């Protein structure tokens, strides 16, 4: 939908407009607040490493012989551990294997441009030498050293920016901070005292004793007041004007936009730089029970879908209590880095794709150039560039320099990637002619060479469907996000996609959705090429709405085939889904697949 805003825009103009808009935004922010923080390094960085590490890493999800599944840095709260008992456990935290140089070597090999590490998480334990509290790694553990000192030094040597995560609102060992209701009465809370006597002084330590710090990554603002958030922001800027502040300071006071844990936006909002955060497995802190590590290609898929929408990916690791990065994380970060070593030009400093969605991967851009990230190479190698009206001057494989053929077929421009191209996720650099016009193509290409097409919310071309976002966790805190097509509450509502079928063929059409008891049983109709295909929504399970942190069921999505259609000629088609009868939204429709049916 947003694509319609970009009709017939010259690439050069497009890029210029983007930088103009961001310049306006930057100066607007500056005049409102005096302090000008340089966010351009952040906009260009694209890949960061998040590190969750603390005394909870030593526990790894086990308390009193009991196993807690889900995110382990929440163990104290989940097991309702009294502060005194929890604090006493710090004597067992002795990360003798910690080697800052080795961690930074992994980060460097991975090609990250910044690292953010937990300086203090919700459990209140400071991973640095703090004079403000004795509950810190130097005073309260046999280890007795400050790991952040070495890390900041090593990172700086390696040319990697460094940020500190600081839990400003929750501190479970403090009666005046938020989060520990099993010991402290929130009515007795004097939050201003905690801010003045712990949070602000610790931030001062972090922003005074470690040289230039690039980000203070605040989190879980809860009902932190606007005054308090402004106070925190002003304090950071007073101590280090160039230090960025994360979005989770609250009240829209961050220097860049952030999304929820594990969420890539369907469509990025506005022109501000933004960051998606994911963890490599499901927990943020080290867990003995979490082996759901993403593979290299899954991480590349995340990275490419983030950068092709213009954002940064910060991917988390959870070193263990001895200070070791889990082997699967070190290995995957290193192999992502191998790919970036060859293809970094297509990532760092690039901007979002100016074209429509492509069925074979993602696109990034810089003035006069497009980069085609081929996640799913078609058998015949033909990469469609929907919306490009002028034939590019040249195309070459970034890794090898091999020149590729560019051809026009009907109204479309294709780059031909040889089948022999062996590397996983090859990238093609395309040089655009100076007068290249991009007429952004609303329609989704359907072709046998891409095994069909997938239609999602962000590809909608008409109707009045609404974005319906859902998030669930399986264990605890391991959020999964779904951006679904919602708002289909009556026969007058519809979701409409324009298709451009490239050649004749037969396809099965599959709806992928989740439906509660309430939604189940409603009738819907999918219309394609003038034919109506009726279906009844099947129940897949309930989602308990409500509190953010409650154990929930996984949201199950069902593949429901509703049609087989034969397109006997290439051309434009419209696909519509609407309720025939509905009282509540038809279903949580994640996507419509048009799958080649042989």
Question: Closest separation between CB of residue 398 and ligand JFZ, Å?
Answer: 33
Binding to ligand JFZ by residue 472, rule CB under 6 A? no
Query: Based on CB atoms, which residue is closest to ligand JFZ, 71 or 448?
Result: 71
Binding to ligand JFZ by residue 260, rule CB under 6 A? yes
Query: Based on CB atoms, which residue is closest to ligand JFZ, 232 or 446?
Result: 232
Query: Based on CB atoms, which residue is closest to ligand JFZ, 20 or 182?
Result: 182
Query: Based on CB atoms, which residue is closest to ligand JFZ, 315 or 358?
Result: 315
Binding to ligand JFZ by residue 123, rule CB under 6 A? no
Q: Which of residues 271-300 bind ligand JFZ (CB under 6 A)?
A: 277, 284
Question: Closest separation between CB of residue 74 and ligand JFZ, Å?
Answer: 6
Q: How many of the other CB atoms lie within 10 Å of CB of 229?
A: 22
| DSSP per position, 117-157 | EEEE-TT--BSS--SS-S-BHHHHSSS-S-HHHHHHHHHHH
Question: Closest separation between CB of residue 549 and ligand JFZ, Å?
Answer: 7
Cα(53)–Cα(321) distance, integer angstroms? 8
Cα(380)–Cα(447) distance, integer angstroms? 12
Query: Based on CB atoms, which residue is closest to ligand JFZ, 13 or 548?
Result: 548
Query: Based on CB atoms, which residue is closest to ligand JFZ, 77 or 87?
Result: 77
Q: β-strand 531-536 against 523-528: which pairing, if any?
A: antiparallel
Question: Closest separation between CB of residue 73 and ligand JFZ, Å?
Answer: 5
Burial class (CB in 10 A: 0-12, 13-18, 19+), 421: middle
How many CA within 13 A on the CB side of residue 428? Answer: 30
Binding to ligand JFZ by residue 220, rule CB under 6 A? yes
Number of residues forming the site for ligand JFZ (CB under 6 A): 10
Edge-first strand order for the sheet with 312-317 is 244-245, 215-218, 161-166, 114-120, 47-51, 312-317, 274-279, 257-261
Beta-carbon contacts of 497 under 8 Å, excluding residues fewer than 6 positions away, are 444, 455, 459, 460, 461, 462, 574, 575, 576, 592
Q: Is 429 helix (H, G, I), strand (E, B) or coil?
A: strand
Question: Closest separation between CB of residue 181 and ligand JFZ, Å?
Answer: 16
Q: Is 467 helix (H, G, I), strand (E, B) or coil?
A: strand
Query: Based on CB atoms, which residue is closest to ligand JFZ, 481 or 508?
Result: 481
Query: Based on CB atoms, which residue is closest to ligand JFZ, 79 or 277?
Result: 277
Give kind and range of the element (H or E) at residue 452: strand 452-455
Question: Closest separation between CB of residue 71 and ligand JFZ, Å?
Answer: 6
Q: Return the residue matching tokens 């260009």.
A: 44
Burial 133-162 (b: 16+ CB within 10 A, else e): bebbbbebbebeebbbbbbbbbbeeeebbb
Question: Closest separation between CB of residue 69 and ligand JFZ, Å?
Answer: 15
Query: Based on CB atoms, which residue is closest to ligand JFZ, 314 or 340?
Result: 314
Beta-carbon contacts of 570 under 8 Å, excluding residues fewer than 6 positions away, are 410, 501, 502, 503, 504
Contact 286, 60 (CB under 8 A): yes
Question: Closest separation between CB of residue 261 and ligand JFZ, Å?
Answer: 5
CA distances from 270 to 15, 256, 266, 352 (A): 15, 11, 13, 12
Query: Based on CB atoms, which residue is closest to ligand JFZ, 277 or 395?
Result: 277
Query: Based on CB atoms, which residue is closest to ligand JFZ, 241 or 554?
Result: 554
Query: Based on CB atoms, which residue is closest to ligand JFZ, 219 or 593?
Result: 219
Question: Closest separation between CB of residue 61 and ligand JFZ, Å?
Answer: 13
Question: Closest separation between CB of residue 369 and ligand JFZ, Å?
Answer: 34
String marking each residue 494-533 x if it binds ligand JFZ according to CB under 6 A: ----------------------------------------
Question: Closest separation between CB of residue 584 and ligand JFZ, Å?
Answer: 24
Q: Which of residues 535-554 bind ligand JFZ (CB under 6 A)?
A: 548
| DSSP per position, 249-276 | GSTT-SSSEEEEET---SS--SSS-EEE
Give 195's DSSP letter: I
**Percent helix, percent strand, percent coil in the chain, to nearest 5:** 25, 30, 45
Question: Closest separation between CB of residue 165 and ligand JFZ, Å?
Answer: 7
| DSSP per position, 292-327 | -PPPHHHHHHHHHHHHTTT-EEEEEE---TTSPPPH
Query: Based on CB atoms, which residue is closest to ligand JFZ, 73 or 255?
Result: 73
Contact 120, 102 (CB under 8 A): no
Cα(295)–Cα(303) distance, integer angstroms? 12
String marking each residue 160-179 x if it binds ligand JFZ according to CB under 6 A: --------------------
Tokens for 328, please give them.
């699967």
Binding to ligand JFZ by residue 219, rule CB under 6 A? yes
Question: Closest separation between CB of residue 252 and ligand JFZ, Å?
Answer: 14
Question: Closest separation between CB of residue 436 and ligand JFZ, Å?
Answer: 40
String marking each residue 227-256 x if it binds ligand JFZ according to CB under 6 A: ------------------------------
Query: Based on CB atoms, which residue is closest to ligand JFZ, 257 or 578?
Result: 257
With left for phi above 0 and alpha for psi between -120 and 50, is residue 315 left, alpha or beta?
beta
Q: Which of residues 53-82 bind ligand JFZ (CB under 6 A)?
A: 71, 73-74
User: Which spans of this chain sit near ligand JFZ (rule: CB under 6 A)?
Assistant: 71, 73-74, 219-220, 260-261, 277, 284, 548
């Amino acid at each position: 939908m947003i694509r319609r805003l970009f009709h017939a825009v010259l690439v050069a103009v497009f890029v210029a407009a983007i930088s103009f808009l961001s310049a306006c935004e930057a100066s607007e922010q500056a005049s409102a607040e005096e302090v000008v923080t340089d966010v351009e390094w952040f906009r260009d960085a694209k890949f960061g490493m998040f590190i969750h590490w603390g005394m909870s890493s030593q526990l790894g999800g086990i308390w009193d012989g009991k196993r807690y599944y889900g995110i382990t840095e929440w163990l104290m709260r989940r097991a309702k551990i009294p502060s005194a008992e929890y604090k006493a456990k710090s004597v067992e935290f002795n990360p003798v294997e910690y080697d800052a140089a080795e961690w930074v070597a992994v980060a460097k090999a991975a090609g990250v441009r910044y690292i953010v590490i937990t300086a203090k998480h919700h459990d209140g334990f400071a991973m640095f030498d703090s004079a403000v509290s004795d509950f810190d790694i130097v005073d309260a553990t046999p280890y007795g050293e400050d790991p952040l000192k070495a890390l900041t030094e090593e990172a700086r040597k390696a040319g990697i920016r460094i940020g500190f995560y600081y839990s400003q609102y929750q501190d479970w060992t403090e009666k005046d901070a938020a989060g520990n209701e099993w010991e402290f009465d929130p009515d007795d809370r004097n939050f201003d005292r905690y801010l003045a006597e712990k949070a602000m002084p610790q931030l001062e330590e972090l922003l005074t004793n470690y040289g230039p710090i690039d980000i203070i990554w605040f989190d879980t603002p809860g009902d932190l007041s606007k005054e308090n958030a402004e106070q925190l922001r002003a304090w950071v800027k007073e101590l280090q004007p160039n230090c960025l502040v994360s979005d989770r300071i609250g009240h829209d006071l961050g220097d860049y936009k952030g999304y929820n844990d594990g969420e890539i936006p369907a469509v990025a909002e506005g022109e501000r730089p933004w960051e998606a955060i994911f963890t490599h497995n499901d927990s943020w802190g080290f867990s003995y029970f979490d082996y759901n590590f993403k593979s290299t290609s899954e991480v590349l898929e995340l990275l490419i879908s983030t950068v092709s929408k213009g954002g940064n990916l910060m991917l988390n690791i959870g070193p263990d209590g001895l200070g070791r990065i889990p082997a699967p994380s070190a290995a995957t970060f290193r192999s992502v880095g191998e790919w970036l070593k060859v293809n970094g030009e297509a990532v760092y400093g690039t901007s979002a794709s100016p074209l429509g969605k492509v069925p074979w991967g993602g696109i990034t851009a810089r003035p006069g150039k497009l980069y085609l990230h081929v996640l799913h190479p078609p058998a015949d190698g033909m990469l469609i560039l929907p919306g490009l009206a002028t034939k590019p001057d040249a195309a070459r494989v970034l890794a090898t320099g091999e020149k590729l053929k560019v051809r026009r077929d009907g109204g479309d421009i294709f780059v031909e990637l040889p089948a022999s191209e062996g590397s996983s996720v090859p990238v093609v650099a395309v040089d655009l002619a100076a007068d290249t016009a991009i007429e952004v193509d609303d329609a989704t290409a359907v072709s046998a060479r891409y095994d069909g097409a997938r239609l999602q919310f962000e590809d909608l071309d008409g109707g009045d469907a609404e974005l319906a976002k859902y998030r669930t966790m399986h264990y605890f805190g391991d959020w999964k996000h779904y951006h679904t097509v919602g708002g289909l509450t009556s026969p007058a509502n519809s979701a409409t996609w324009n298709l451009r079928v490239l050649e004749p063929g037969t396809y099965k059409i599959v709806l992928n959705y989740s439906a509660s008891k309430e939604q189940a049983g409603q009738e819907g109709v999918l219309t394609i090429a003038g034919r109506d295909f009726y279906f009844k929504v099947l129940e897949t399970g309930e989602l308990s709405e409500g509190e953010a942190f409650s154990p929930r069921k996984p949201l199950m999505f069902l593949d429901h085939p509703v049609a087989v259609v034969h397109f006997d000629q290439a051309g434009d088609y419209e696909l519509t889904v609407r309720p025939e009868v509905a009282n509540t939204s038809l279903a949580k429709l994640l996507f419509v697949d048009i799958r080649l049916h042989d």
